[in-house]
Amino acid sequence: MKTEFVMAMVAAATVVLLMPVRLLDAQVAATVQVTVRTTGAAAATATTPVAAATVAVRGEGFTALTDARGVAVLRGLPPGRHALVISALGFAEATIGVEAANGRVTRASVVLDPAPVTIAGLGVRVASREGGARATVVETASLPPGVADLPAALDRIPGATVVRQGGPGAPAVVQLRGSGGDQVLVLLDGTAINSPLTGVADLSTVDLASVARIVVIPGTQSARYGPRAVGGVVLLESRDVHGASGAVTAGAGSWSSVETAVNGSRGLGPWSISGGARWRRSDGAFTYDVPNFRGGGEAPRENAAFTQAGGDVRIAGRGRANPSLRAHLGDVERGSPGGIGQPSLSGRQHHRRWGLSGQVESGNAAGPESSRIGGSARVDLQWQRAEYGDPSPPFGRAYETLTRVRRSELALEGWWRPGRRGAALRAGLHAARLDVDSNVLATRALDLDELGVWARAGHDRELGHGVHMGLGAAVRADLHELVDGVTASPAIDATLTRAGLSLDLRWGRGFSPPGLGDLFFQEGVLVEPNPDLRPERIRGELTATLAQQWTLDHATGEVRATAYRADIDDMILWFPDHRFVWSPDNYDVARRGLEVGATADLGALGRDHTVSANAAWSEVEYTGAVLDGQVAYRPRFTADLSLGIGLPAGITLNPSATHVGERRTVPGSPLNALAAYTLLDAAIGIPLTLGKRAGRLDLAITNLLDERAALLADYPLPGRGWSTRIRIEAGP
């Protein structure tokens, strides 16, 4: 208390002493004129004015907006040195220093770097472009309280549906725009985590605490990322901390959930080392409502406990090659409770993934400081082990399966910017070898080789009257052992922008080979593989996105709409035949949809507030003669709403709502539909100061109204839950 009193007296004395000086300065007017421009997406020299950018004098209350020429004028400034903060929707914030001369006009200029729009408190950035495609970016450091795992983070992405098979730690798969989970490629630091047997990526096996950035690119991306990207790509980037710093996180929640994590970094001359370790567990025993066709009433979801542990370490150097080496380990063990129609009390799963990767990079690939020529090389080795077993299943014989996977990859990439303004060329090679050993396959050991080469050319130019155009074309050729011959995947994109209004058009093709389980699954009772499966293909996807960025007083935001058509030929689905034997086969599917959304970041009552709203309509219908209507378990309509409300003392309140529409459960039949449901969540983040260390306390309630819902039949979602988490940081 005594220390706080002394500090308050010192601050008051400082204000009194400086007051006459400030009054004297305010009597002399100065003017500062700032010109704000930006580089094109593919050019380091071509610039264009930025309209409606905010130019503010830090800490002094002077602000101005740029006009159509990108010019802002600040009048009435006291002479002297000032820090100007320049911000605009779709660009990275910049700070410059200017010297305001007594009674004169001081001119300054700044070039803003194109960047995704940041919605503070929600951790979601829109309007980013990755390889010609419109992407959504999530910075995990700014995710709101209550988002405890990777599936929960992806559930907030427009057009994404996360299919969970239960509560915390249960298997979870992401679908984009009505595609199947096996049609979305998930890359962790450039390496696919999709199962070679099923083709899906289980998001629950990736620890969110180890991920720094999530990039979601919907639509077919085979022109850049090759096989299995017909529905889209999810890029996960691990944390890369610089300088001497550290943090400790601990938390607890409902269903006996506990977690702890520690991470840090330290500089060692020209090298730096960073890493962390994490551990989570939960017994997962929530209560659910039993459907009437299962007898009704309530029952506990038993054998749903899980334990997750992992860690990583990264060594990076500074220099012309920027070398880095990273090792990681993740382990998940959980129960296999099965469906509620045939629950298992003894089923178990054990997943382990570990790996080693190294990378070198020369030159900068993007931004105004980008080099004219550069390249990178990455080598990655990854091992996976998956065990499933049940000594006394409710149906059939006891089983114990083991699958081992070793994946080795080499990725080379280079870029070149010729002398012409606005032009850029990127090209790369990707080679991978997959060694699989599994007792669930008819042929226990399999070796698969993949080879892909790709190139992308882009050109930006000014059309006059503030109109900017970007054109791009990409093509990739893949040689895959499960697909005959060489497969070419082209894509073309175009963008027109003017004063915050943008139109994105894209056309592309993609393909996905059958999974090993579809082709070579070990034949058993009422199950047969199909070695004659054809690859899934998108012949010509069309996507159009119209977006408008806006600024009004202390508010900025964006509204957007995306329409797409992405029919899939030969989609692989499992169905029983006339003998009730389940087997995969190819089916043609028509897929089209519409997505609308809006984001806003505004200041009111001296606080910062945010809002994000999205709605998606996706039709995924059979086109053959036998089956018709919407594909099973694909909701036609989904929507979400998230708010970030600033409160005194830096506290933030984050209510949110997620709606999932009705789904069909029986292929080709409108019977037994699952009802629509809406989940409400609420969370609060409280900043903490413990001596010289900063931190945050997060409190959250999920499924606030205790809605008893299920995205899949026989796999209920948990009811109301709670969590609390505290994070303490040390260092700069």
The tokens describing 641, both together, are 């709403």
The tokens describing 73, both together, are 């004028």
| C-alpha closest to that of 496 among 116, 117, 40 | 40
The tokens describing 302, both together, are 């038993």
pLDDT band at 714 (very low <50, low <70, confident <90, very high): confident
14 pLDDT higher than 50: no
Q: How far apart are CA 592 and CA 621, in angstroms?
A: 9
Please answer whether residues 591 and 566 qualify as being in contact, where contact means their C-beta atoms are separated by less than 8 angstroms.
yes
> What was the pLDDT predicted at 538?
95
Mean pLDDT of 532-549: 93
Q: Which residue has the higher pLDDT, 462 or 288?
A: 288
pLDDT for 469-497, tens place per residue?
Answer: 989 999 999 999 889 899 999 999 999 99
> What was the pLDDT predicted at 668?
64
Pairing of strands 232-238, 184-188: parallel
> What was the pLDDT predicted at 30?
79
> What was the pLDDT predicted at 637?
95
pLDDT band at 726 (very low <50, low <70, confident <90, very high): very high
> What was the pLDDT predicted at 303?
94
> What was the pLDDT predicted at 369?
41
Q: Which residue has the higher pLDDT, 24 or 482?
A: 482
Residue ranges with strand state E in 499-579? 501-512, 536-552, 555-565, 568-576
pLDDT for 102-122, tens place per residue?
Answer: 767 888 888 887 664 443 344
Mean pLDDT of 146-175: 87
> What was the pLDDT predicted at 62?
75
Mean pLDDT of 388-406: 90
234 pLDDT higher than 60: yes
Please answer whether residues 503 and 496 qualify as being in contact, where contact means their C-beta atoms are separated by less than 8 angstroms.
yes
> What was the pLDDT predicted at 581?
82
> What was the pLDDT predicted at 167?
85
The tokens describing 123, both together, are 């951790």
Helices and strands counted in the chain (H then E): 4, 42
pLDDT for 167-214, tens place per residue?
Answer: 888 899 999 998 988 999 999 888 888 888 888 899 988 888 888 889
276 pLDDT higher than 70: yes
Q: At 317, phi and psi to the nearest 5?
A: -120, 160
| C-alpha closest to that of 493 among 45, 46, 129 | 129
> What was the pLDDT predicted at 392?
92
Tokens 């639509």, located at residue = 219
> What was the pLDDT predicted at 464?
81
Q: In this structure, which topology does domain 235-730 adopt according to CATH?
A: Maltoporin; Chain A (2.40.170)
> What was the pLDDT predicted at 240?
67
With a CB cutoff of 8 Å and minimum separation 6, the contacts of 459 are 42, 422, 423, 424, 470, 471, 472
84 pLDDT higher than 50: yes
pLDDT for 504-522, tens place per residue?
Answer: 999 999 999 998 888 887 6
> What was the pLDDT predicted at 512?
92
> What was the pLDDT predicted at 21?
34
> What was the pLDDT predicted at 11?
43
Domain residue limits, the chain = 2-112, 235-730
With a CB cutoff of 8 Å and minimum separation 6, the contacts of 291 are 713
Which SS3 state, helix, strand or coil, does residue 222 take?
A: helix
Mean pLDDT of 88-94: 73
With a CB cutoff of 8 Å and minimum separation 6, the contacts of 48 are 37, 38, 40, 70, 462, 466, 468
pLDDT for 589-618, tens place per residue?
Answer: 999 999 999 999 888 777 888 999 999 999
Please answer whether residues 182 and 149 qualify as being in contact, where contact means their C-beta atoms are separated by less than 8 angstroms.
no
18 pLDDT higher than 50: no
Mean pLDDT of 371-400: 89
632 pLDDT higher than 80: yes
| C-alpha closest to that of 329 among 349, 314, 311 | 311
Q: Which residue has the higher pLDDT, 246 or 578?
A: 246
Q: Which residue has the higher pLDDT, 654 or 44?
A: 654
Please answer whether residues 350 and 386 qualify as being in contact, where contact means their C-beta atoms are separated by less than 8 angstroms.
yes
**Chain mean pLDDT for the chain:** 84
- Which of the residue ranges 417-421, 478-482, 653-657 would you say has the lowest mean pLDDT? 417-421
524 pLDDT higher than 80: no
The tokens describing 33, both together, are 């004129």
> What was the pLDDT predicted at 368?
39
Mean pLDDT of 684-705: 89
> What was the pLDDT predicted at 718?
93
With a CB cutoff of 8 Å and minimum separation 6, the contacts of 20 are none
> What was the pLDDT predicted at 591?
94
> What was the pLDDT predicted at 132?
63
Q: In this structure, which topology does domain 2-112 adopt according to CATH?
A: Immunoglobulin-like (2.60.40)
24 pLDDT higher than 60: no
415 pLDDT higher than 90: no
Across 63-67, 250-254, 577-581, the highest mean pLDDT is recorded for: 250-254
